[in-house]
Amino acid sequence: MADERSAAGREDDALRATLAAEHAAVWGYGVVGAALPPEGRAPAGAGEQAHRDARDRLAALLDERDADPVPAEAGYTLPFPVLSAVDAAALAVVLEEGVSASWAALLDAAGRSAVRLLAVDALGAAEVRAVAWRVAAGRSPVTVALPGLAGT
Amino acid sequence: MSTSSPAGFSRRRLLAGATGLALLAAGCTSGGQDDAAAETAAQDDRVAGQVPVQESVVAAYDAAAVADPALGGRVAPLAEQARSQLERLREAVPDATSSASSPAAAPPPGADVLGWLRGQVAAAATSHATACVDAAGARAALLGSVAAGLRGHEAALA
């Protein structure tokens, strides 16, 4: 049973790490939206809502398991100054790639197929948003081979 | 945590029977060595089964480039990524043999080549995602990542 408990603990830890990443993404999308012109904010609003939904799903999952969720940080540090629409898109790419790494780690740690289903859907959705932001940021190529995995 | 986690062999057997999955948890030892060995074999099969799916994606990019060279030039970086995804899947199942019998995919004459290619990529993404849910550990992460990568391709091909 010790192995079972540690496997469940590993999944809980990965759920918490993903929740922390989603908290950061929700916060970061506020910065993304603020740096975009009003007529260009719709994708930021949609992204923020998607991360709020993911955050709430993760918190509910942890709650169901009597595992403590992690709260949002009081403050976050931007990786670079966000002064233009291109900066905003580049930040959104960072946010989506950040949550993607967490979702992929959760796939690795998950013991339950229901958790993997949530994670694989979230990973795909994050990459689809990342593609749009890489286009907006002028990146090339706009896709990556292995979202969420190191060394891609 | 102990009441809500799917711990315990009988519970897992029940779930396995209900869903037709051979296994649900990674690194479980409560079933003994035979189960662990069967689990590893089943996991290898899960990834091995996705190798031909990914081969068909690589073939679809090649066929699209033949049918529409301008499009082929535009999607060359994506085709390269599809090849590296295939490489990673093959590495995950060292014993996998290349399935030379994969049906050669080609867009139907007169078809919208871009739309056809997008459809091929989308179907493979769904297949990998489904296999990911049934896999575990590093194999689940790899299959999920390849699925997500192809979702991104699908978006880029829109």
* C-alpha neighbours within 13 Å on the C-beta side of residue A138: 5
| Cβ-based contacts of B24 with chain A (< 8 Å) | 111-113
Contact A147 B133 (CB under 8 A): no
Nearest to B148 among A105, A112, A124 (CB): A124
pLDDT digits (tens, 9 = 90+) for B69-121: 999 999 999 999 999 999 999 999 877 666 555 566 789 888 899 999 999 99
- Picking from A39-48, A49-58, B51-60, B90-99, which range would have the lowest pLDDT averaged per residue? B90-99
Burial classification of residue B17, based on how many CB atoms lie within 10 Å of its CB (0-12 exposed, 13-18 middle, 19 or more buried)? exposed
What mean pLDDT value characterizes chain B?
79
**B111: which residues sit within 8 A by CB, 6+ positions away?**
none
Return the residue matching tokens 């967490």.
A102
Residue A19, pLDDT > 60, answer: yes
pLDDT digits (tens, 9 = 90+) for A72-108: 998 899 999 999 999 999 999 999 999 999 999 999 9
Contact B151 A128 (CB under 8 A): yes
CATH of domain A2-136: 1.20.1260.10
Alpha helices in chain B (DSSP H): 9-19, 33-67, 69-74, 76-92, 113-134, 137-156
Return the residue matching tokens 């978006």.
B155
| pLDDT of A113 | 96
DSSP assigned state of B57: H
| pLDDT of B21 | 30
The whole-angstrom distance between B102's CA and the closest CA on chain A is 22
Closest listed residue to residue A36, CA positions, set A81, A80, A96, A89: A89
Write the ipTM: 0.94
Q: Nearest-5° angle of CA A26, CA A29, CA A30?
A: 95
| pLDDT of B34 | 61
Nearest to B140 among A67, A108, A145 (CB): A108
Question: Which of A3, A63, A108 to probe the B interface (max B CBs under 10 A)?
Answer: A108
pLDDT digits (tens, 9 = 90+) for B33-60: 566 667 777 777 888 999 999 999 999 9
The whole-angstrom distance between A98's CA and the closest CA on chain B is 14
Sign of CA dihedral B90, B91, B93, B97: positive
Domain residue limits, chain A: 2-136
CA gap A18, A41 in Å, rounded: 25
Contact A93, A26 (CB under 8 A): no
| pLDDT of A6 | 81
Minimum CA–CA partner of B155 in chain A: A128
| Cβ-based contacts of A4 with chain B (< 8 Å) | 5, 7-8, 28, 30
DSSP assigned state of B93: S
Q: What is the largest CA-CA distance in chain B?
A: 59
